[in-house]
Amino acid sequence: MLKDNYKSGYSLNQIYYKDESIYNLEINNIFHKHWLFAGHTSQLQDIGDYFLYEFADESIIIILNKNNQIKAHINVCRHRGSKICLDKEGNKNLLTCPYHAWSYDLDGALISARDMPSDFKFEHNNLMSVHLELIGGFIFISLSKKPLSLNNFKSDLNETLELFGLDSLKLAMHKSFSIPANWKLAVENYNECYHCVPSHKEFSQIHMMGTDNKIFNIRKDEYLKLNKNNPKYAQFNCFYDNAEPGQEGYQYDRNPLKPGICSGTLNGEAAAPLLGKLTEYDYGASELMIGPLMFFLIYDDHIVGYRFTPLSVDNCVCDIFWMVRDDAVENIDYNINNLTWLWNTTTVADTTIIMNNQKGINSKFYSPGRLSLMENFQKNFLDWYIKTINSNKGDYIE
């Protein structure tokens, strides 16, 4: 078993960041099993609008049908397997394969296939559909035959997320950062703030977390006591191994910002109109995790989403989504450079950090190192990861 090579409380052995067979286990047991964040409903304005969500060897078409419903289809023609949509986004009246012109409607039903045998059944050759769930305007998909339930998440966080108006957001900016490293290094980096003080002075100007850990814990305890029983300050730690069997993992918490800081902007001032039902700033930001790979940071006036996607064993992409209230007007209610400054700057720095981490791990002299007390969330991720890749293979769509 692979877990025989792992010691809890330490970083992973080199093999986990370089071995193709382990990478394939990860795709089957993690990415084909858990809910994945595909994008936001505001990316689909008109009937036929679509975008692709892609990872590893998979490509999924997210499209708005004629009934204004969002559908998800595997981007593989049922004839001989060609990709159908070649552009990352666009608008289609029909989904027509560029190879032999088999055509599908927006719901994925095959409607045209020339010169087929008399016993050919159109209804048996529709595009493979993908499970899709909307959480507010967030689009999540699952490639599993039997997706993990989101019921506990929705029940626990319904009241909390209503405060932030998840149904009334729009995507203000989306950026992709290519990282020449194994995807786990990107997730591990996001999961710990041990590196925040030495590596991210901009983050440390804004977030109380970017300070001495003891000072942060004292400040957080004071912050939460002042707001006891308010759903905005709820705490749910059902992530990784804490998730109930059959339920998707999730986590929610709220942390203080530095004194007087309203939002994640260059000067800490307001970035955009207050979200949802909020009427004032509380100098804090919420952390929301849905599934093992998607993280949201919720300020009072905008939301930042982080997604980590593997492309190969040694390449991944970090996508960042900035969302504001859907009636906010750019250059009037918010400035895009101010809105994106903090996490653009931080991610540019992290891209170099993660790349150099991979370079060091590639050395024959690398050995797993002991994790600090500030890397406990990373430890939870690694413990869960080892169990997950040693579990039964993912029950992905076939």
Selected from 2.102.10.10, 2.40.30.10, 2.60.120.20, 3.40.50.410, the CATH number assigned to the domain covering 35-143 reads 2.102.10.10
The predicted pLDDT at position 225 comes to 77
The predicted pLDDT at position 393 comes to 56
Domain residue extents for the chain? 35-143, 149-389
Digit-coded pLDDT (tens) for 80-132? 999 999 999 999 999 999 999 999 999 999 999 999 999 999 999 999 999 99
The predicted pLDDT at position 38 comes to 98
The predicted pLDDT at position 208 comes to 87
- In tens digits, the chain (398 residues) has pLDDT values of 566 689 999 999 999 999 999 999 999 999 999 999 999 999 999 999 999 999 999 999 999 999 999 999 999 999 999 999 999 999 999 999 999 999 999 999 999 999 999 999 999 999 999 999 999 999 999 999 999 999 999 999 999 999 999 999 999 999 999 999 999 999 999 999 989 889 999 999 999 887 777 788 888 888 877 777 789 999 999 999 999 999 999 999 999 999 999 999 999 999 999 999 999 999 999 999 999 999 999 999 999 999 999 999 999 999 999 999 999 999 999 999 999 999 999 999 999 999 999 999 999 999 999 999 999 999 999 999 999 998 865 565 65
The predicted pLDDT at position 197 comes to 87
The predicted pLDDT at position 228 comes to 74
The predicted pLDDT at position 1 comes to 54
State the SS3 of the chain: CHHHHCCCCECCCCHHHHCHHHHHHHHHHHHCCCCEEEEEHHHCCCCCEEEEEEECCEEEEEEECCCCCEEEEECCCCCCCCCCCCCCEEECCCEECCCCCCEECCCCCEEECCCCCCCCCHHHCCCCECEEEEECCEEEEECECCCCECHHHHHHHHHHHHHCCCCCEEEEEEEEEEECCCHHHHHHHHCCCCCHHHHCHHHHHHECCCCCHHHHHHHHHHHHHHCCCCHHHCCEEECHHHCCCCECCEEEEEEEECCCCCCCCCCCCCCCCCCCCCCCCCCEEEEEEECCCEEEEECCCCEEEEEEEEEECCEEEEEEEEEEECCCCECCCECHHHHHHHHHHHHHHHHHHHHHHHHHHCCCCCCCCECCHHHHHHHHHHHHHHHHHCCCCCCECC
CATH architecture of 149-389: Alpha-Beta Complex (3.90)
The predicted pLDDT at position 2 comes to 62
